[in-house]
């Protein structure tokens, strides 16, 4: 039996998403650090999506998807599953678009993220990520309650919305008289790096796209090596909660398998070091998963010397206890 063809987004879809997000999403800054450039021997630009509305890039995709719901769908409401950043993005986008949101969140989700969802009026339902399938629970609840499922990455509207961060960065680099030789971005399910990679390669086809993941959860890196979607053996065990997923998405992998140049795997210690560096030298607060790309660059896993590299720092929703551990390293 033939498999149904995936409806993949295009660069034009990213342009359309950017129009919808005007006046809603923050145009996040592109930061520089002389210390970082000297340490790595290149020009590094940091796209600070930790300063995005709700504290992460996830608002972009969620708003793009939910703003396209029809009146009946808005009346029924939406449901999503997330460790926290997509959850907050969906809750905010739902409220701004006049609908309601129910969010499945793992019981070990950071308190800051749970509180963020509640601030935007989202209803939180807990589950155990080690023993329960959020996808199965989400599909069942969507069917039972009639809500529209807003997945974290397996959706062309979500990918296109996330891609607007890349589209913005391309424009900001041009304004600075620069063009990226490489882009480094964290990868969980792969929606952000798929959209960002598409935006950069549409503007500059030779741009390298590098993924950054937690060690032991580097399914994109291993999938690139094998040529097929690999699964992680564990579902928990890293402080980088925002980017722990079982396997690359089918839709996102269809894009990433052709766009990605390579991948890096960072440890929890690498993440904490990068969080401390970002606070000290960039003056931003970043969560462990959100700093994975910077950690990959700081640990020398991505070639930077003599090149121009754009690094996405993707989220800043971190509990005080974890952030304190990072600052203790200074």
CA atoms within 13 Å, Cβ hemisphere of 218: 21
> Where in the chain are the domains?
11-57+156-327, 59-149
Please list, in sequence order, all residues whose beta carbon lies within 8 angstroms of the beta carbon of residue 183, skipping any fewer than 6 positions away: 166, 169, 196, 197, 200, 207, 208, 209, 210, 309, 310, 311, 312
Q: List the structure tokens of 175.
A: 């304004």
What CA–CA distance (Å, rounded) separates 57 from 71?
26
What pTM did the predictor assign? 0.95
Helices 156-175, 58-66: axis angle to 10 degrees equals: 130
**207-261 tens-digit pLDDT:** 999 999 999 999 999 999 999 999 999 988 999 999 999 999 999 999 999 999 9
Say yes or no: domain 11-57+156-327 is CATH 3.40.228.10: no
Q: Do domains 11-57+156-327 and 59-149 have the same CATH topology?
A: yes
**272-319 tens-digit pLDDT:** 999 999 999 999 999 999 999 999 999 999 999 999 999 999 999 999
- CATH architecture, domain defined by 59-149: 3-Layer(aba) Sandwich (3.40)
**60-76 tens-digit pLDDT:** 999 999 999 999 999 99
Q: Lowest mean pLDDT: which of 5-14, 30-39, 261-270, 310-319?
A: 5-14
């Amino acid at each position: 039996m033939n498999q149904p063809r995936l409806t993949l987004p295009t660069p034009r879809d990213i342009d359309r998403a950017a129009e919808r997000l005007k006046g809603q999403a923050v145009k996040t800054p592109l930061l520089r650090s002389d210390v970082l450039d000297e340490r790595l021997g290149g020009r590094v630009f940091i796209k600070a999506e930790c300063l995005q509305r709700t504290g992460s890039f996830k608002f972009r995709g969620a708003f793009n998807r939910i703003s396209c719901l029809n009146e009946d769908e808005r009346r029924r409401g939406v449901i999503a599953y997330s460790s926290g950043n997509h959850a907050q993005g969906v809750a905010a986008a739902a409220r701004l678009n006049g609908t309601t949101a129910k969010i499945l969140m793992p019981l070990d989700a950071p308190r800051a993220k749970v509180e963020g969802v509640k601030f935007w009026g989202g209803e939180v339902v807990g589950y155990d990520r080690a023993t329960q399938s959020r996808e199965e629970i989400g599909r069942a609840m969507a069917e039972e309650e009639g809500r529209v499922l807003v997945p974290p990455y397996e959706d062309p509207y979500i990918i296109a919305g996330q891609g607007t961060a890349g589209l913005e960065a391309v424009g900001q680099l041009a304004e600075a008289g620069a063009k990226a030789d490489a882009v480094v971005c964290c990868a969980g399910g792969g929606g952000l790096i798929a959209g960002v990679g598409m935006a950069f390669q549409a503007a500059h086809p030779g741009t390298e796209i590098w993924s950054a993941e937690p060690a032991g959860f580097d399914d994109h890196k291993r999938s690139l090596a094998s040529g097929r979607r690999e699964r992680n053996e564990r579902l928990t065990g890293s402080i980088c909660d925002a980017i722990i997923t079982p396997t690359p998405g089918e839709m996102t992998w269809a894009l990433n398998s052709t766009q990605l140049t390579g991948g890096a795997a960072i440890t929890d210690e690498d993440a904490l070091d990068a969080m401390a560096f970002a606070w000290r030298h960039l003056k931003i607060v970043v969560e462990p998963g959100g700093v994975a790309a910077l950690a990959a660059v700081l640990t020398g896993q991505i070639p930077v010397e003599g090149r121009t590299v754009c690094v996405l720092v993707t989220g800043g929703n971190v509990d005080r206890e974890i952030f304190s551990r990072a600052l203790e390293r200074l």
